Each structure stands twice: as C-alpha cells, then as structure tokens.
A = this chain, B = another copy of it.
C-alpha cells in the first residue's frame, strides 16, 4: 500500500513499530559499510596467484629490450600497452600507462591542462573561468578534482541511456569556458546506467566552442559485468570520435583497480596519438617510468583476454548475489510503498537509490547511528549538494551476504521512517 494513502494514525502506528525495530538494531552495535566501491576480501583472494608470477625464472627483458626492473620506458612496457589496447579496442600507440590509480591519471591530465593548456591552448590557470559539465548523479572523486582546480561544475541530468544530450550539445557549443565533461559510460557510477549508441555518437559529434574541450571518458567498469553472458556493449568512443572528425576530443581512462588489487593495480589512458604523445612528453618532467614490474606482473597473470574474462567472471560470481540480494530486498520491502526508486544494474559497483525529496541526509544519518555507513548524502552531486536531497549511492560489494542483508534491513527501516516523517510533515 502506498504510504501517501495511509492515514496519519496509521502512519504514526507504523512509525512506532519501525522505531522500535530501529532501536533494536541500534542496540546490536553493528559496524557495516555500504559506502565505497571496495572489492571484498573474497575478490582480493582471486588475484593472489599474481603475486607469484615474478620470480627468478622470469624473463625481465621484454619487447622494449630493457630490463623492466630498471629505469626507462616512460609510456609503459609494450606488452602492457597492448593489454590495455586489447581491453579498450584501440591500438597500443593510442595508450599510455600510469601508476596504480586512474584517478591520478585524470587529476594529472587536468593538472597539465591547468599548467600548459592542451595542444597549445591557453593554460587554464590563465583563464578567468573554466567549467566542466557533470552528469548527475555522478562520481564524487571526479567532482573533487574539479573543486581542487577551481573548475565550476554544471549539473547535467543523467537518463537511463546517458546524459541529457540536448543540454550537453547546447552548452558545449555555446560556452567556450566549458572545457570538459565527466562520463562513466558503462555501468555508470552510481546508477549502473549504460550509454546508448545514439548518446555515444552524439558525444563524438559534439561541436565544442572551446578547442581544448575534452570528454573525460572514465571507463572504470568496462569489463565489470555482473552477467558475463550478457555483457553491456557500448560503442568505442575513440573510434567514433575519429569517424566524426574529432579524433583529439576524448581521453578514455581505465584501470585494474577492481580487476586485481585496489591501489596496487595499473592504469591507462587511451586517446589520439597526438594527445598521447603530448601527454608522454609532459610526463617526462614528472617521472622516469611508472612501476613496470607491476605492469609485467599483470600481463603475465593475464596472458590472453580470455584469461582476463575468466577472472572477471569469478568477480561476477561473487558480486552478482550481492546486487541481487539488495535489489530483491528493496523490491520486497519498498516496492509497493511509493516512497523510493532504485536502479537494477547489470555491472559496475553501485546501485542508485532515490528516496522522497528531502530525506536522503536523514536516512544516511540514521543508518550511521545504527552502525551502517552509507556514502554521504549529496556526495553524488558537485559540491556535495543534491538539490533534492534524495540520492543515495548503495555499494554492495564489500560486506558479506549476511552483513549485507543486515545492513539493508537497517537501511530499509531508515528509509521507511524518514519517508513517514516527510509525509506527516505535509499532512
């Protein structure tokens, strides 16, 4: 029954019941987290054999004819560039490797634009105003990078097939202060949405007012399917940009953080050769070479794409029941109440959740009081400001199934209480 159709008395009675359940949960002194997209211990164990692939029998002199244990090979070893090229379906010369975090690569790419501009454009530090479009809800760490560099963020609504492209096209073509847009095109953070072919094509065909406008295509979940037999397919943005005559307009990012070890993986950027070569030449001021031993460790652990797929299928085995558990519990407990909606992703690390307006902060805070940590309400919006205070990101990966069930029970109780309070306010 819809909460809105219940009488005040009914709601109050229900609230009393829920509060008693809530207090009981609180008494358990739990310490659970659905806050961050952290792989579980079980997932980490999958990559343990990777720690043994480098040993005294290893040939450390690869295709670059240099000992990977020593200095050199700034763009990354050939074998590892090809590894990412295969994942991203581009040529190895379109790939540059970085350290353990694609976030650092994104930050540094923007940092270099700030200091030097892009392919000869005015350095952003010399401009009065630099703006980025931010599809919302989105990834908080993208927004943090913008804030660090004083970049003004403009919200663009996300639809199930990608950002509102009418708005993107209009803004990008009219305002030369707009230098970029953040995209998580496959299994988006936090909704798990997948960009449609039409959206990707419209991105590739943008006519930006700024010559140094770039699409920051964070393909973080490119191979992170929950249902490996029905993987989401999106168009290849590098290829589409080439076709549309905009070869330099996109930087694509990806990493093995959620393939092998978070914080100890390898990361890469794909782009036009012009962009890649410019990046490599600027990287020369910052580093001699990234950790090539870790690059070699990865390529030896994944000799073929087939090995990588099999490995990702094991991740899916662990992740899928968790996502299904959460979605099923939400469906069963909140499905008929008219107080919330949520997504049902087929990959990635998150489930998007919208409560009634004005309830998200309260839900997250009540959860915390009962020992369940959620991502901060508002974190999915620039400046931490969700204008409707309703979006909550659910990260089901880290807890065990039992913990997840416990955490969801508490979350659901909190959603119900906050919704009743909201409805009562209006009655």
- Residues of chain A touching chain B, judged by Cβ–Cβ distance below 8 Å, are 36, 38-39, 41, 44, 48, 51-52, 54-56, 67, 69-72, 99-101, 103-104, 107-108, 111, 114-116, 123, 125-126, 141, 144-145, 147-149, 261-264, 282, 284-294
Nearest first, the 10 A-B pairs at minimum CB distance are: A125-B125, A148-B285, A264-B293, A107-B286, A71-B262, A263-B289, A44-B69, A264-B291, A100-B291, A101-B287
Q: B71 to A44, Cβ gap below 8 A?
A: no
Contacts of A52 in B (CB 8 A): 55
Q: B104 to A287, Cβ gap below 8 A?
A: yes
Instruction: Give bound CA distance, A289 to B48, whole Å.
Output: 19
Contacts of A55 in B (CB 8 A): 48, 51-52
Contacts of A141 in B (CB 8 A): 285, 288
Q: A263 to B48, Cβ gap below 8 A?
A: no
Contacts of A36 in B (CB 8 A): 71
Q: B67 to A56, Cβ gap below 8 A?
A: no
A151: shortest Cβ distance to chain B, in Å? 11
A71 (CB) vs chain B CBs: closest residue: B262
Instruction: Give bound CA distance, A123 to B114, whole Å.
Output: 12
Instruction: Give bound CA distance, A148 to B282, whole Å.
Output: 8
17 cross-chain CB contacts under 8 A:
A36-B71, A41-B67, A44-B69, A99-B99, A99-B100, A104-B287, A107-B286, A111-B115, A115-B148, A141-B285, A141-B288, A144-B285, A148-B282, A263-B288, A263-B292, A291-B291, A291-B294
Q: A54 to B51, Cβ gap below 8 A?
A: yes
A53 (CB) vs chain B CBs: closest residue: B51
Identify 12 new A-B residue pairs, CB closer than 8 A, beyond the known A41-B67, A69-B264, A101-B288.
A44-B69, A48-B56, A52-B55, A69-B261, A72-B263, A101-B286, A103-B288, A107-B285, A114-B125, A145-B285, A263-B290, A291-B291
A410: shortest Cβ distance to chain B, in Å? 23
The answer to whether A294 and B111 touch (CB under 8 A), given A48-B56, A70-B44, A147-B285, is no
A220: shortest Cβ distance to chain B, in Å? 13
A143 (CB) vs chain B CBs: closest residue: B285
Instruction: Give bound CA distance, A52 to B54, whole Å.
Output: 8
Q: A291 to B51, Cβ gap below 8 A?
A: no
A424: shortest Cβ distance to chain B, in Å? 39
Instruction: Give bound CA distance, A77 to B123, whole Å.
Output: 36
The answer to whether A44 and B56 touch (CB under 8 A), given A99-B291, A264-B294, A292-B263, is no
A47 (CB) vs chain B CBs: closest residue: B69
A40 (CB) vs chain B CBs: closest residue: B70
Instruction: Give bound CA distance, A290 to B107, whole Å.
Output: 14
Instruction: Give bound CA distance, A141 to B288, whole Å.
Output: 9
Of the residues B51, B71, B103, B261, contact of A287 by C-beta under 8 Å? B103
Instruction: Give bound CA distance, A282 to B147, whole Å.
Output: 11
Instruction: Give bound CA distance, A100 to B291, whole Å.
Output: 6
Q: B70 to A262, Cβ gap below 8 A?
A: yes
Q: A115 to B288, Cβ gap below 8 A?
A: no
A141, A264, A288: most-surrounded residue (chain B CB, <10 A) = A264
Instruction: Give bound CA distance, A54 to B293, whole Å.
Output: 14
The answer to whether A290 and B70 touch (CB under 8 A), given A54-B51, A111-B111, A111-B115, is no
A346: shortest Cβ distance to chain B, in Å? 24
Contacts of A103 in B (CB 8 A): 286-288
Q: B125 to A70, Cβ gap below 8 A?
A: no
The answer to whether A115 and B149 touch (CB under 8 A), given A292-B263, A294-B291, is yes
A263 (CB) vs chain B CBs: closest residue: B289
Q: A70 to B287, Cβ gap below 8 A?
A: no
A218: shortest Cβ distance to chain B, in Å? 14
